[in-house]
Amino acid sequence: MAPVLELKNITKRFPGVLANDQIDLTLEQGEIHALLGENGAGKTTLMNILFGLYNADAGEILIKGNHLVTGSSKDAISAGVGMVHQHFMLVPVFTVTENVMLGDEITKYGEILDRTAAADRVREISQRYNLEIDPDAYVKDLPVGVQQRVEIIKLLYRKADILIFDEPTAVLTPQEADELVNIMRSLVNQGKSIIFITHKLREVLAVADRITVIRQGKVVGTTTPAQADQNTLASMMVGREVDLQVKKEAVEKGEVILEVEDLIVLDDRHQAAVNSVSFEVRAGEILGVAGVQGNGQTELVEALTGLRSPLDGKIELLGKDVSQATPREITEIGSAHIPEDRQRDGLVLTYSIADNLILNTYYLDPFAKGPILQQEEIYKTAEELVEKFDIRTPSIITQAGSLSGGNQQKVIVAREFSRSTKLLIASQPTRGLDVGSVEYIHHQLIEKRGSGSAVLLVSTELDEVMELSDRIAVMYRGKIVDVVDAEQTTKEMVGLLMAGISPNGAGKQLEASKKTKKNKTNNK
């Protein structure tokens, strides 16, 4: 029997990058095939080609042995391909039914929507695949996990046989992720085939039947969970032996730099995103904040940096109450901030590197005397920082927007590290960066700690937090579930805490889950 899907020789070139280089991939009926690769390895490009959002420069796509002429997602949809996008493709102000039927509407008398019939279809699908949903609810009122269910129903409504999941667990809590795994399994059991795109090694090993690793647009190899482990997959992904260990020397912990007490912060929807959080960070330590995305980390950092004023609670920086301070006041007291979204918050992409390097010090001597900017001084400093932090750029008047992601992050690091600060708040500092840049940033964070600074590292990458932190605070639903010593804990333990399982219960749960896992492997 022919494989349900064959990608042959797919090549896609973007200006300056070869995003896909002769990629071959086959998907068998009823399998979960993981597509593993770093950020920027070309996974999403490949899937967008399959889904008709891009046109490939070369190569062909066969579905059940038939050629698929791509060009629009319409063709892909009618060939039975469906995709759950990383960022949900849902219209918030439409109901579940409207979202599901959009583009393939059930109508009566030609053009008139038959909402009742469509809602019945949605209900039918949701029962058949065990995806609980209210067809008449507005999508904007649904939690993230349920929204993802709507995305899946959209595909099933279109009778898709080949389902592509693009980084589906990034926004899910561990339980939601577990449930997604169950859903994927049940889909496969009912005859669907799944491509699962991810860069998370553990998930791949837990779910996939086969694993294809791609690196820099090329297929590195295909393997199975039985043949591979995390280390082999990691080195396939990166292309060399990866030393996941970061060497860090013991540093004497100093005074308390940042102290947070009973902090409550509301999100944009006026709900408590940070709920009675307390912790402290001392000089010479890295406090990692672990947690699934969307558990209040963003709001916590915004409150600590003055971008969002907390509803209640106390934030003390170097002994001063800064809970209602402006970002500038906090910066001036001595806090550095690597923002979560560097292109949105950290840089002005149309500005030169020089201007970006003084983005929060432009008004201070020597960059400004009175109201007048001192251009010469600004350029001199920029030259020095570009040199010191190894920012790869043609010149200091190059626009920040034309730099690579890694170099953009270096501009931010250079700016924040060149000031004398006592606290560094780094939020997702390595998101979307290549391995080289990740190592560079990790090295810089360790150095900052070594220089006697307090570091608050917020990351959703559990490995990163485990490696770098001295202590780890785990956030779940706006609360800090527990603060644990990094040396004395395990990934499994932190993982359970991330799922909101209380410190006492965590040990027992761990035992239990190990047993189930064993059972599962036996059944196979």
Footprint of other proteins on 116-145 (CB under 8 A): 132, 143-145
Site string for other proteins, 21-50 (x = CB under 8 A): ---------------------------x--
Query: Tell me, what DSSP letter sits at residue 323?
Result: T
Does 89 contact other proteins by CB under 8 A?
A: yes
Q: Which residues within the stretch 318-357 sit at the binding site for other proteins (CB under 8 A)? A: 326-328, 331, 337, 339, 344-351, 354-355
Give the separation between CA 29 and CA 42, rounded to whole angstroms.
24
Q: Which residues within the stretch 409-448 sit at the binding site for other proteins (CB under 8 A)? A: none
Using CA atoms, how far residue 496 sits from 58, 155, 464, 473, 508, in Å, is: 45, 31, 17, 13, 10
Per DSSP, the three-state class of 16 is coil
Does 17 contact other proteins by CB under 8 A?
A: no
Q: Out of 51, 165, 196, 389, name the contact with other proteins by CB under 8 A.
A: 51
Helix axes 144-157, 115-128, angle to 10 degrees: 100
Place of tokens 């860069």: 199
Does 514 contact other proteins by CB under 8 A?
A: no
Q: What's the distance, CA 382 to chain centroid?
A: 31
- Complex with other proteins: residue 123 or 380, whichever CB lies closer: 380
- Complex with other proteins: residue 112 or 250, whichever CB lies closer: 112
Q: Out of 70, 126, 169, 173, name the contact with other proteins by CB under 8 A.
A: 173
Place of tokens 């070594």: 450
Residue 524's CB is within 10 A of a number of other CB atoms, namely 6
In whole angstroms, the minimum distance from the beta carbon of 504 to other proteins comes to 19
- Complex with other proteins: residue 111 or 243, whichever CB lies closer: 111
Q: At 383, which helix (H) or strand (E)?
A: helix 375-388
In whole angstroms, the minimum distance from the beta carbon of 396 to other proteins comes to 6
Is the Cα dihedral 505, 506, 511, 516 positive or negative? Answer: positive
Does 477 contact other proteins by CB under 8 A?
A: yes
Query: Tell me, what DSSP letter sits at residue 389?
Result: T
Q: Which residues within the stretch 234-263 sit at the binding site for other proteins (CB under 8 A)? A: none
Q: With contact defined as beta carbons under 8 Å apart, do 446 and 246 qualify?
A: yes
Terminus-to-terminus CA distance in the chain, angstroms? 23
Does 55 contact other proteins by CB under 8 A?
A: no
In whole angstroms, the minimum distance from the beta carbon of 326 to other proteins comes to 7
Q: Out of 11, 26, 29, 73, name the contact with other proteins by CB under 8 A.
A: 73
Site string for other proteins, 180-219 (x = CB under 8 A): ----------------------------------------
